């Protein structure tokens, strides 16, 4: 009989995950899951819907493919997302004048209004989620995340 057979199994509070906690990748993943849970609990639209609408608003005429690349969504999946947004009356498709293969995206008035309402709600939500950080820490976090993203893109 080894000491392992005697010592009681650790409960959730006493778990040792320290080597995992030191991995940036593990923490990024856990935090992504936590933030998604909060998002879905707070809104009746998805993060993808919001970011697509906002990106189209900021970049009217953006090409379908450029939007997919920016949000890291594959083109076939972006097609389905845009289909939903078009059926909901938020987004309009138009063929590009200079390249008939390309699809240019823009918001309808209804879409523009919807995204502004979302933005206000998202800003308040973001404040709640980052409440454990000071404004300076929030800025530092965004900066470090951006630095890694730019390098890995």
129 binds its own copies (CB under 8 A): yes
Which listed range, 53-61, 74-82, 84-92, lies at the site for its own copies (CB under 8 A)? 53-61
Give the nearest distance from C-beta 50 to DNA in angstroms.
Answer: 12
Cα–Cα separations (whole angstroms), residue 134 to 4, 129, 130, 140, 143 = 43, 12, 8, 10, 14
Q: Which of 43, 45, 46, 59 binds its own copies (CB under 8 A)?
A: 59
Q: Which of 101, 136, 151, 153 binds DNA (CB under 7 A)?
A: 101
Q: Name which of residues 103 to 122 contact DNA (CB under 7 A).
A: 103
Cα(75)–Cα(112) distance, rounded to whole angstroms?
23
Q: Residue 142's Cα: distance from chain center in Å?
A: 14
80 interface partner picked from DNA, its own copies, none, CB below 5 to 8 A per type: DNA
Task: Compute the half-sphere exposure of residue 126: CA atoms within 13 Å on the CB side of its CA.
Answer: 11
Cα(52)–Cα(67) distance, rounded to whole angstroms?
7
80 binds DNA (CB under 7 A): yes
16 binds its own copies (CB under 8 A): yes
């Amino acid at each position: 009989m080894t000491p392992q057979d005697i010592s009681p199994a650790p409960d959730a509070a006493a778990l040792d995950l320290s080597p995992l906690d030191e991995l940036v990748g593990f923490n990024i993943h856990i935090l992504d899951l936590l933030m998604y849970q909060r998002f879905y609990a707070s809104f009746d639209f998805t993060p993808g819907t919001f970011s697509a609408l906002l990106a189209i608003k900021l970049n009217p005429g953006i090409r379908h493919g450029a939007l997919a690349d920016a949000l890291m969504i594959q083109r076939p999946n972006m097609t389905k997302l845009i289909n939903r947004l078009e059926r909901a009356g938020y987004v309009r498709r138009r063929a590009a004048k200079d390249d008939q293969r390309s699809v240019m995206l823009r918001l309808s008035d209804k879409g523009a209004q919807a995204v502004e309402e979302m933005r206000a709600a998202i800003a308040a939500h973001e404040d709640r989620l980052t409440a454990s950080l000071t404004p300076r820490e929030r800025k530092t976090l965004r900066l470090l995340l951006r630095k890694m993203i730019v390098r890995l893109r």
